[in-house]
Amino acid sequence: MAAEVRGFERFGEKPEVSSDIVDTSMVYRWKTPLMLKELTFSIRDCVGCDLCQICPWEAISEGPIVEAAAGRIRDAPLIMIDEDKCCFCGICETVCIFNSISLKINGTPASELYCRLRGEHSIDREKCIPCLLCSKLCPREAISARVEVEKKEKLVKYLGEGEAEGEISIDEDKCCFCGLCELLCDAIKIFWTEPKPPDFKPAITIRVDDDSCDYCGLCEKVCPVDAIKVECISTPPREIREPKVSGEIEVDDKKCVDCGLCALKCPVEAIRVEKPLRGEVALKRIERCDPVGCHNCFNICPVKAIYPTGKEDKVAVVDEVCVYCGACENACPEDVIEVTRLGYNLVYPRTPLPWAQGRTKAVSKLIAGEKPPPSLLEARVLSPSIPEYFSLPEKLPKTPKVSQQAREEALRRLKLLYVSLNEKKLRLLLAFGDVDGAVEALAKELRKAYRHP
C-alpha cells in the first residue's frame, strides 16, 4: 500500500477507472502506473442473491430480480455495480459462491491471495462405484460421470441350446436409479426425467423387457442397494463372468456450490460436502403467497431447493440442499420468504495475506442480524379520473400559508424522489418498458427512505 501511495505522489495521477462489455460479462478496470485491477461480473452466472451487497462502499445494488424471476425481463443484470463507488477491494468476489464475480490484481486471480466463502467437497474413491446418479441429480450440472460397464452379452457365454426361465423383480422404492443395470443390460430401461424436490427422483420408472431377459442375475450383482431380485428356474448350460464397473466422477469447482444433494443421495456414502453457509428459511405472511400464479422462488433457486406443496402450507424448502444464498427472498414480490444465515465456511489460501482478518469481519456481516420491520403501508398505483377539459374558477383561491417546517419536509421528500428516480434499477426497468415494475421499485425505495430519514 505504501508503494502504491508513493507511486501516486511520483506520477501525480489518480486511478483511471473504465468499464466494458465482453460477451455476457461486465469488465471494470482500475488502473494506476503501478497496478491494474480487473473486476469481471458475469451476468449469466449471477443468480440474484444478496451476498455481494455486503460491499463496504455500497457500490452494489439490486437489479430487477423480481421481474427477471417472473420472466418479464431476460438477460438483464441482477445486480448493479457503481464503478464510481467501487474501490476494487474484491470483497464481493470473496462472498460470491456462484463465481459470477472475479477479480485479478496485476493478472493474478484474487482467489489466490484472499480467503473465500466456499463449501468443500471430497469423494472417497474407494467407496465410489462409480455410477450415474450424482451427475443426473446435480442442479448445477457440475458433476460429470465416466462409467464403463461391460455388456451382459460379453459376460454370459451359452454352451448349449434352449431358453432360460425365471422371474425378475425391481423394488422401485429401494431403487436409487444409479443407471448401472441399464448400462449392463439392454433388457432394462430407465425412463429418466428432471429431478425435482422434495425427493429429487431422477427417473419416472424402470422397466424390464421379459422377452429379452435371460435371468443371468448380473443386474442383481451390480445393484448397490439390493433393489433387484432374480430367480432363474431353468437355463441351458452357460458360463457367467463377474461384472466389472470402472470409471471416474469429476466435479467442476466453478459450477459446484456445495449444496450437498449428491452426498444426500449417494447410495454408498462416498461423497462428503461442507456447505458454504448454514442457516434457516422462514415463510412469513404465507397468506400472501400464490404458488399457482407466481413461480418466482421456484424459478430463481439455483439448487431447486424450494417447491410447491399443494397443501395449506403452500411452499416448502429442502433444508438439506438449500445454500441460504437469499435469491428466493429477493425474488418474492410479497416479502413472504426470510433467509437467516447462522454460520459460514471460509477457505484460505496457502499463504494468507496480513489483512485476511479484516475480510473475515466483512464476511461476518452475512450472519443473522437485526432487520428493519416490514412496512405497515402498501404502495398502490392510483389512476385518478381527470376530465379532458376543465375551466378555471373566476376567482382563484389565496395561496395557503406554509410553515417553514412543512416547506423543509416537502423539499426533503422531493430530494428523495429525485435520488430514487436516478436509481440504476429503476432506469433499467424503464428502458425495458416495464412501467409497472418501475412504479413498484420507486414505491419501495420511497418507503425505505421515509422510514429512515
Band of residue 381 on the pLDDT scale cut at 50, 70, 90: low
Band of residue 405 on the pLDDT scale cut at 50, 70, 90: confident
Over residues 6-22, the mean pLDDT reads 72
Q: What is the pLDDT of residues 87-141, one digit of tens each?
A: 999 999 999 999 999 999 999 998 888 889 999 999 999 999 999 999 999 999 9
Band of residue 3 on the pLDDT scale cut at 50, 70, 90: very low
Rounded CA-CA distance 156/153 in Å is 6
DSSP reduced 3-state for 395: coil
Instruction: Give the residue among 118, 137, 25, 46 at the shortest CA–CA distance from 331.
Output: 46
The confidence score (pLDDT) of residue 450 equals 66
Rounded CA-CA distance 414/193 in Å is 55
- Listed as own residue / partner, the contacts of 402-409 with beta carbons closer than 8 Å and 24 or more positions apart are none
Least confident of 108-112, 247-251, 263-267, 362-366: 362-366
Over residues 422-428, the mean pLDDT reads 76
Q: What is the residue-averaged pLDDT of the chain?
A: 88
> If you ran DSSP here, which 8-state letter would residue 279 be given?
E
What structural domains does the chain harbor? 2-120 (no CATH), 123-248 (3.30.70), 259-345 (3.30.70.20), 416-451 (no CATH)
Tell the burial category of 243 from Cβ atoms under 10 Å away from its Cβ (0-12, 13-18, 19+): buried
